[in-house]
């Protein structure tokens, strides 16, 4: 018995689809196409007719997207992309600050044959659910179907065409885009670019296929789970991150209501070429080979929590495609088009492909910096220059020698160890460009291993332990290192989480641990085996190019998900030069660093690096005695510590003895950054280090040094009416421009400098030689934050907001996603928070907005010292005190048991969480303690 090729489930009228959420029935078309086996009817999503109604004919659109769904979905997946094409035509698609006009895009998304509302194939009825469907479309036939359909719809079109695919639709779309012979013989179309969501073009026969597909492919289960029942479809629809709504699930199920309509689902699974003899294996190999040979640019959007298309498929695609951008979504999954907004990266990428990325330079009225910088100097330069010096290079207070004294190493010893380790890494197979995850606590071991990796040309991947196990695991998987160097805790994590990379321990471990942890060597065994050997570049292993990546440093995650920040060797060279100037480093200088990046950069700036006894990931563990003992051991002349660390130093100062106090008095330079430093804290610290210059540089992982302010200036501006925290004037190699905020808190497309930037609340935009090269595997974040101006400079949108005062000093007032938009005009939370924070009865305060943008109520969320005050609306007396402390119109004051702050800095407030909680409290939904 045969099922009718055109079953009754096909809509009698396309209008029947208008009940589906987000779907416009005007997009639906039924197209007859001459395929390899006769005329077939395809249901196609096509927003072209709607664009024509808006006065934009097919030949006048900027681009065409051909979107191909996978299994068991249909063209409904691309509804938001289709709507975005309409929005762009109406001027309603915003691609972010500075992006300019969004391209008008016609979207064509066919339902593949036997899927969605396209024609069904004739399937033989199976006597039992254990039989595989006998008739189904193969990969090669699906690629041919796509070419035939496009030949029908796009004859003689010269509009730039971009393919878009997901799941097995990704293979079909990539296969069509790279098969020039088939296109030449059929449609003749030439793709301008390729876009793919989670997909795969190759699978080694020896590798196990993902568990969900193993279950579906099991002989007796294939037809039962895919055709006879909706199990495969239902399982796919529960993969949403977050979960899909019931109405969206119903929409995806609309074409697959019974077994007669689900034959294509089973056929698609049956066509997975998992074995050597599968009839689509040759076609898959052809797609993989053609993809590796093409020069067509590509964009890859990847949901990292996909249980089907796991990371190894992403890595394979990145290794094959010559010109590829990628944005990896660490917390999204298989149904990426549902999980996240894919419209902005897709349209932004097409816009850049069409028109480039140059934007006007800021109108420079008064330059506030230059880009003068010295010649490139490798980070290991001082190790080579001082290889014969017996002066101290490092002092690590967290480690003691056999006499119980702090561990110290000379420049001669450090140079010898780093060279020997580098030789060992090269002999072990490490090559320039290999990524190396550094799971080692800051101190002597990490410093030696880091410089050995850099010397070989490896790319050091550093994820702060403050991210927690889940955050670190996510960061490392995102970076995809080829190597992991770690101590036992880090290696245990790598083993348990199955992190990628060959594993090397710092020290030699016993054979059992070596086997259990899957080790391939140890750094100190390299140091012993290759002792006395000097690492030198060879033709086969040259020194790293200055423009090559040197490090991927992950942000703290305190202002959003942790991002990998890429630095090249050239960028790090510029940074070390700036550190030398800012810190006034001279031969014999000694840097006591309670802040990991500066401790690691000590050897690069020629300073003795002193690591105090503390947990670097928990700054508040630094005590006054630990600081003083480290200063004594390392003859420290400079100290760098976070405000949280200095707060604890002051609080424990009573424990100091006379010798320790004298040692602190020898400190001549003190720096503190990572968060605002209150003037009162500066005063208290200077009582312990009275002869020190106290500076508070402003920076971030993306650019460690941007501006600087000293203690005296902080006092001078104490009565100035400007809102926020003053961070001083930009350094001489830094240019800072401003992108003014409009009434709704949106940053302007135009950048301004000089007098035009004074007093205007704006997003801060920087340009300097020592800023990041870009974010790692975050194409859309790079697109949003990077500005390549017409004057040849690169600018970075920091996400911080603030303003310049008339003296050219920069004031910080919060983050772009912390902006409050009341009817009186846009407001940065930093100013009123600083006002209210002075109240003695409060521990912390946060200002948030509640309500629609442009009409938000300003709410103060406070954490009082008195823990007996219950969460919810504040008592009248406290409310009055808060309102009296600032000139901002506070609509409500709420009490919370704690204002959530980050672990690393102990000061950066999670305002979005508080805003959500405040909205629930004011709506009467929630008055309990903050979770």
- Cα 468 to chain centroid distance, Å, stands at 16
Nearest to 44, CA basis, from 141, 133, 146, 122: 146
Residues paired with residue 404 on neighbouring β-strands, in sequence order:
none
**Whether 723 and 848 share a structural domain:** no
In a domain, 582, yes or no: no
CATH of the domain at 866: 3.30.300.30
Q: How buried is residue 851: exposed, middle or buried, by Cβ count under 10 Å (0-12/13-18/19+)?
A: middle
Q: Give which of 302, 267, 62 is closest to 170, Cα–Cα.
A: 302
Q: How far is CA 685 from CA 76, 592, 598, in A?
A: 62, 15, 20
Query: Any residues with CB less than 8 A from the CB of 470 and at least 6 apart, and which?
Result: none
Rounded to whole angstroms, the Cα distance separating 342 from 198 reads 12
pLDDT for the residue 926: 65
pLDDT tens string 788-809? 876 778 899 999 999 999 999 9
Residue 255 has pLDDT above 70, yes or no: yes
Cβ burial, residue 507 (10 Å; 0-12/13-18/19+) = exposed
CB 696 within 8 A of CB 672: yes
DSSP state of 187: T
User: Do 843 and 805 belong together in one domain?
Assistant: no
The mean per-residue pLDDT over the stretch 855-870 comes to 91
Domain membership flag for residue 420: yes
Give me the DSSP letters along 201-256: S---TTSPPPHHHHHHHSHHHHHIIIIISSHHHHHHHT--SSPPPHHHHHHHHTT-
Q: Which of 534, 569, 604 is the last residue of a domain?
A: 569
Q: What is the pLDDT of residues 51-67, one digit of tens each?
A: 999 999 999 999 999 99
pLDDT at 546 over 70: yes
pLDDT of 7 above 60: no
* Domain enclosing residue 850, as ranges: 820-922
Together in a domain, 330 and 477: no
pLDDT at 420 over 60: yes
In a domain, 449, yes or no: yes
pLDDT tens-digit profile of 273-327? 877 788 888 999 999 999 999 999 999 999 999 999 999 999 999 999 999 999 9
Measured between alpha carbons, how far is 342 from 359 in angstroms, rounded to an integer?
Answer: 23
* pLDDT value, residue 737: 93
CA–CA distance from 579 to each of 427, 576, 605, 887, 911 (Å)?
A: 34, 5, 7, 40, 32
Tell me if 603 is assigned to some domain: no
Q: Check residue 122 and give its pLDDT.
A: 81
> How do beta strands 564-568 and 519-522 pair?
unpaired
Query: In this structure, how many other beta carbons lie within 10 angstroms of the beta carbon of residue 588?
Result: 12
CA distance 689 to 665: 5
Question: pLDDT of 203-245, one tens digit each?
Answer: 776 666 666 665 555 556 677 788 888 999 999 999 999 999 9
Burial of 618 (C-beta count, 10 Å sphere; 0-12/13-18/19+): middle
- What CATH number is associated with residue 78? 3.40.50.1820
> Is 177 found in the same domain as 50?
yes
Which residue, among 673, 676, 670, has the nearest Cα to 697 in the 3D structure? 673
Asked whether residue 754 falls in the same domain as residue 773, the answer is yes
- Going by the DSSP 8-state scheme, the letter that residue 741 receives in this structure is B
Give the residue-averaged pLDDT of 433-460.
94
pLDDT at residue 275, as a whole number:
76
Could you tell me which residues come within 8 angstroms of residue 184 by beta carbon, excluding any fewer than 6 positions away? none
Distance between CA atoms of residues 332 and 798, nearest Å: 25
Query: Minimum mean pLDDT among 350-364, 531-545, 849-863: which range?
Result: 350-364
Pick the more confident residue, 41 or 155. 41
Comparison of pLDDT for 404 and 727, the residue scoring more = 727
* pTM exceeds 0.85 for this model: yes
Confidence of residue 643 (pLDDT cuts 50, 70, 90): confident
pLDDT at 719 (0 to 100): 80
Domain's final residue, options 781, 815, 849: 815
What's the structural domain count of the chain?
4
Per the model's pLDDT, the better-predicted residue between 357 and 555 turns out to be: 555
What pLDDT does residue 225 have? Answer: 83
- Confidence band, pLDDT 50/70/90 cuts, at residue 867: confident
Q: Binning pLDDT at 50, 70 and 90, where does residue 124 land?
A: low
* Domain boundary, last residue among 815, 841, 869: 815
Residues 792 and 840 grouped into a single domain: no
Residue 660 lies in a domain: no
Over residues 484-521, the pLDDT tens digits come to: 999 999 999 999 988 889 999 999 999 999 999 999 99
Predicted pLDDT at 489: 92
Beta strands of 842-891 (E only): which ranges?
A: 842-850, 857-864, 872-873
Residue 87 has pLDDT above 60, yes or no: yes
Q: Is the dihedral of CA 49, 53, 58, 64 positive or negative?
A: negative
Q: Are 331 and 267 contained in the same domain?
A: yes
For 818-848, the DSSP string reads G-B--TT--B-THHHHHHHHT-TTEEEEEEE
| Confidence at residue 4, expressed as pLDDT on a 0 to 100 scale | 34
N- to C-terminal Cα separation, the chain: 60
Whether residue 845 sits in one domain with residue 808? no
Q: Tell me if 564 sits within 8 A of 478, measured CB to CB.
A: yes
Question: For residues 199, 205, 206 and 209, what is the CA-based torsion angle, rounded to 10 degrees?
Answer: 40
Which is more confidently placed, 103 or 923? 103
Residues in the chain: 931
Confirm whether 684 is domain-assigned.
no
pLDDT confidence of residue 491: 94
Determine the longest span between alpha carbons in the chain, in angstroms. Answer: 98
Cα–Cα distance, 65 to 87 (Å, whole number)? 15
pLDDT tens digits, 805-841: 999 999 999 999 899 999 999 999 988 998 998 899 9
Helices marked H in 608-704:
624-634, 643-651, 658-665, 679-686
CATH of the domain at 721: 2.30.38.10
Residue 133 has pLDDT above 80, yes or no: no
- Please list, in sequence order, all residues whose beta carbon lies within 8 angstroms of the beta carbon of residue 789, skipping any fewer than 6 positions away: 358, 359, 360, 361, 362, 751, 795
| Residues 449, 347 share a domain | no
DSSP states along 523-554: HHHHHHHTTTPPP---SSSPPPPTTSEEEEEE
Q: Contact at 8 Å (CB) between 646 and 619?
A: no
Q: What are the tens digits of pLDDT across the range 910-923? A: 888 899 999 999 98
State yes or no: pLDDT of 775 exceeds 70: yes
Task: Report the pLDDT averaged over residues 152-164.
Answer: 93
Which residues have CB under 8 Å from 154's CB, separation 6+? Answer: 64, 108, 161, 187, 189
Residue 521 and residue 393 in one domain: yes
Percent share of the chain, pLDDT over 90: 67
Q: Are residues 481 and 346 in the same domain?
A: no
274 shares its domain with 326? yes
CA distance 728 to 672: 13
Task: Find out whether the peptide bond into 242 is cis, omega within 30 degrees of 0.
Answer: yes
At residue 558, the pLDDT reads 63
Task: State the DSSP H helix or E strand holding residue 83, giving kind and residue range, or none if neither.
Answer: helix 79-89
Answer whether residue 653 is part of any domain.
Answer: no
Q: What is the mean pLDDT of the chain?
A: 89
* 737 located within any domain: yes
State the DSSP string of 320-346: H-SSEEEEEETT--S-HHHHS--HHHH
């Amino acid at each position: 018995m045969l099922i009718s090729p055109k079953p009754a489930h096909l809509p009698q009228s396309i209008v029947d689809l208008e009940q589906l959420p987000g779907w416009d029935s005007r997009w639906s078309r039924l197209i007859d196409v001459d395929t390899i086996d006769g005329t077939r009817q395809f249901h196609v999503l096509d927003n072209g007719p709607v664009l024509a109604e808006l006065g934009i004919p097919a030949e006048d659109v900027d681009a065409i997207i051909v979107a191909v769904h996978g299994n068991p979905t249909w063209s409904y997946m691309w509804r938001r992309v289709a709507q975005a094409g309409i929005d762009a035509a109406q001027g309603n698609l915003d691609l972010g600050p500075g992006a300019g006009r969004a391209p008008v895009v016609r979207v064509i998304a066919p339902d593949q044959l036997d899927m969605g509302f396209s024609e069904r194939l004739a399937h033989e009825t199976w006597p039992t659910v254990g039989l595989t469907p006998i008739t189904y479309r193969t990969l090669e036939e699906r690629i041919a179907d796509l070419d035939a359909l496009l030949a029908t719809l796009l004859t003689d079109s010269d509009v730039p065409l971009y393919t878009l695919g997901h799941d097995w639709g990704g293979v079909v779309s990539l296969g069509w885009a790279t098969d020039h012979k088939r296109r030449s013989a059929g449609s003749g179309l030439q793709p301008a670019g390729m876009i793919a969501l989670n997909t795969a073009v190759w699978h080694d026969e020896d590798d196990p296929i993902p568990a969900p597909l193993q279950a579906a492919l099991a002989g007796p289960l294939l037809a039962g789970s895919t055709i006879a029942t909706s199990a495969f479809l239902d399982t796919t629809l529960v993969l949403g991150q977050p979960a899909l709504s019931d109405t969206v699930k119903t929409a995806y199920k609309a074409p697959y209501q019974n077994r007669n309509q689900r034959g294509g689902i089973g056929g698609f699974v049956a066509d997975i070429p998992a074995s050597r003899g599968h009839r689509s294996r040759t076609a898959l190999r052809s797609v993989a080979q053609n993809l590796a040979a093409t020069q067509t640019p590509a964009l890859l959007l990847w949901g990292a929590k996909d249980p089907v298309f796991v990371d190894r498929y992403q890595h394979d695609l990145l290794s094959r495609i010559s010109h590829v951008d990628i944005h990896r979504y660490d917390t999204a999954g298989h149904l990426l088009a549902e999980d996240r907004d894919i419209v902005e990266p897709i349209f932004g990428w097409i816009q850049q492909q069409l028109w480039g990325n140059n934007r006007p330079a800021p109108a420079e009225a008064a330059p506030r910096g230059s880009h003068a910088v010295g010649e490139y100097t490798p980070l290991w330069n001082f190790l080579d220059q001082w290889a014969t010096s017996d002066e101290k290079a490092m002092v690590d207070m967290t480690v003691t020698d056999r006499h119980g004294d702090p561990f110290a190493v000379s420049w001669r010893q450090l140079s010898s160890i780093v060279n020997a380790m580098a030789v060992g890494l090269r002999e072990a197979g490490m090559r320039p460009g290999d990524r190396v995850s550094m799971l080692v606590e800051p101190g002597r071991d990490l410093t030696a291993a880091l410089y050995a990796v850099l010397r070989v040309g490896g790319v050091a991947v550093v994820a702060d332990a403050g991210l927690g196990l889940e955050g670190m695991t996510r960061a490392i998987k995102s970076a995809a290192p080829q190597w992991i160097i770690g101590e036992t805790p880090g290696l245990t994590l790598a083993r348990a989480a199955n992190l990628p990379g060959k594993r090397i321990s710092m020290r030699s471990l016993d054979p059992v641990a070596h086997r259990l942890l899957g080790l391939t060597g140890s750094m100190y065994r390299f140091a012993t085996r290759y002792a006395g050997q000097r690492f030198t570049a060879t033709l086969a292993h040259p020194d790293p190019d200055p423009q090559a990546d040197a490090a991927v440093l992950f942000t703290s995650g305190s202002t959003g998900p942790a991002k990998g920040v890429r630095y090249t060797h050239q960028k790090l060279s510029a940074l070390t030069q700036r550190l030398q100037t800012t810190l006034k480093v001279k031969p014999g200088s000694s840097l006591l660093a309670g802040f990991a990046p500066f401790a690691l950069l000590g050897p690069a700036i020629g300073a003795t690096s002193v690591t105090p006894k503390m947990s670097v990931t928990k700054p508040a563990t630094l005590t006054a005695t630990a600081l003083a003992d480290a200063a004594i051991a390392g003859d420290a002349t400079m100290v760098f510590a976070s405000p949280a660390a200095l707060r604890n130093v002051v609080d424990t100062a009573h424990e100091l003895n006379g010798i320790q106090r004298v040692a602190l008095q020898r400190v001549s330079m003190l720096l503190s950054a990572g968060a605002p430093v209150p003037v009162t804290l500066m005063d208290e610290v200077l009582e312990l280090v009275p002869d020190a210059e106290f500076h508070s540089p402003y920076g971030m992982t993306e650019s460690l040094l941007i501006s600087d302010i000293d203690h005296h200036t902080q006092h001078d501006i104490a009565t100035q009416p400007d809102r926020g925290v003053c961070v001083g004037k930009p350094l001489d190699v830094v240019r800072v421009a401003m992108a003014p905020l409009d009434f709704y808190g949106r940053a302007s497309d135009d950048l301004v400098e000089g007098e035009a930037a004074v007093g205007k609340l704006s997003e801060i935009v920087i340009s300097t030689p020592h800023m990041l090269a870009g974010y790692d595997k975050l194409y859309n974040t790079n697109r949003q934050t990077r500005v390549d101006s017409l004057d040849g400079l690169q600018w970075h949108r920091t996400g911080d907001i603030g303003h310049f005062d008339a003296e050219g000093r920069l004031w910080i007032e919060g983050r772009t996603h912390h902006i409050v938009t009341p009817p009186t005009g846009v407001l940065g939370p930093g100013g009123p928070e600083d006002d209210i924070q002075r109240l003695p009865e409060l521990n912390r305060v946060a200002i948030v907005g509640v309500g629609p943008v442009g009409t938000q109520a300003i709410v103060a969320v406070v954490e009082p010292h008195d823990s007996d005050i219950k969460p919810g609306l504040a008592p009248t007396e406290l409310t009055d005190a808060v309102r009296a402390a600032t000139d901002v119109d506070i609509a409500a004051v709420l009490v919370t048991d704690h204002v959530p702050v980050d672990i690393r800095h102990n000061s950066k407030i999670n305002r979005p969480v508080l805003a959500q909680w405040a909205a629930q409290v004011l709506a009467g939904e929630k008055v309990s303690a903050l979770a």
